Structure 1
Amino acid sequence: MARSIRPDAVLIQAVIAGALSFAHLHDIAVAAGQDGWKAWAYPISVDLLLVAAWRRLRILRAAGEPARAAWTWFTVALTASLGANVATAGLLDLANVPAWLRILVAGWPALAFLGGTLLVHTPAHQATDTTPAPVPEPAAEVALTRDVPAPVPAPEPEPVADPVPALPPPAPVPAALVAHARKVADAHRTATGTPIDTATLGARLGVPGPMADALALQLTGKD
C-alpha cells in the first residue's frame, strides 16, 4: 500500500534553513579564495560534522557517559555555520576578506577530518551491569538413615605423683669409728638418760653430717 506524501512544516523549514546556511558557507569559501567544487565541499563538510557530533551526543547521553568531546566538536561546527551566516549579512567585505579568515577556511578540512575521525572511532563503553549475581540456595541436608552411637568419653588420666627422690647410699663407716661412736653414745645415755642425737654425735666425733647419719644408723641397728 502506497503512502501519501504530506508536507511537513518542520521539514520544509529545515530544508529552507539548510539551503540558506549552505549558500552562506559557499559564499564565504569563495570569498576566501576557494573556487569551483572546493567552495561547494565546505558547506557539506561543516554540516556533516554538525550532524555527526549531534548523533554522538545522543549515543553518549543514552549510555550515561561524559560527552565533553562531542560537545566540543558540535560547538566548533555550529560556530563555523553561524559565523558564515553572520559574516554574509553585510558585516564583512566579501571582496576583501581578512587574512585570518582565509587561514580558517584553508585549515578547516584538516580540522573537520580530525573531528570526524575522533567522533567515529571512539566507541562508547558499555554500561557495567551492577546487578548482583543470584546466590544459589544451599542444598538441603540429607538426614542420616542409621543411628550413630554417641562417642564414649575417654577416661581422664590419673595424676601421677611426683617420684620421691631416692636417698643417697650411706657413706662407708670404718669399724673402729663405729666402735668409738658406740662408746660415746653409751656414755651420753649413762649421763643424760636419753639416746644421743645425730647432731650431738657428729659434734662429739668431729665428723660431717653424712658420716654422723651413717654412724647413727650403725648404732641403732638399721644398717
Structure 2
Amino acid sequence: MSQTPAKSTPFMRQWERAKSQHPDTLLLFRMGDFYEIFGEDAKVVSRECELTLTARHKDSPNPIPMCGVPYHSIERHIATLLSRGYRVSICEQMEDPKYARGLVKREVVRVLSPGTVLEDAFLSGVGAATGNNFLAALSCDAKMTRFGLALVDVSTGEFLAGEIESVAGTELNPCEPDTEVTQSGAADVTPENAESSGRFAKLREELLRFAPSEILVPQRLRECAGFLQM
C-alpha cells in the first residue's frame, strides 16, 4: 500500500519506487546534505533514534510523516537501527544537483542488515554479545523434529553448519554440514500443534549459544506459534 497521497509529487513518486523495491527495509533517502525518511519508516526511525518527527505537506489531507539526519552523522543512526534488528537501505543521489536537469537521479546503492555488515562502526553494536556477528539460516523437516542450522560471520569468514534433532540433537561443528543425527520416531506435526511438544528446546539452546544477529527462517517455521514463542 502506498504511504503517500494519490496526487504525489515527482519527488515522492521517486521515493515510492525506491521503497517498493525494498519494502522490508527502512529507506534513507539522500536530499542534499540530509538523509530524509518518510512514511511509516519515519515513525520507526524517529522513535528508535530519538529524532523529531515532522510531516511533509502538513496542510494536505494526507500529510506524510518525515524526519531527517545530516549526512555526516548518519553512521551512528544506522548503527542504532542495525543493533535493534532493522534492515536499512540507502538511496543516494547519482548526479550533482547543480547539473541535474529536472529531478535528481537517485538509486538504492546498498542494503544493510544486522548479519551482513562489515564496518567496525556497525559490528560493535550487533555482534558484541559473542564476539562474532553471525547470520543464521534455518530449515526443518516436515515433522518439525529435525532442523538444519547454518551460521556465517561474513566479517571473519567463520562458518558453522549442522543438524539438530528435537530429542537427542547434536551440536554444531565447524564446516560439517553432514552431521549425523538419530532418526526421530515422532508423529507428524503441523504448525497448529507443534508448539505443545517442546520440540524447539535444542534449537533454542543452539540459537542462544551462538546468538546470531539475524536469522533467515522458512515460511513453515514462521507460521508455527511454538517457534515464535520459544
> Which structure's residues are more often strand, by fraction?
2
Please give the range of the TM-score, normalised by the shorter of the 2 chains. Answer: under 0.3
Report which structure shows greater RCO (CA 8 Å, sep ≥6): 1
TM-score, length-scaled by structure 2: 0.18
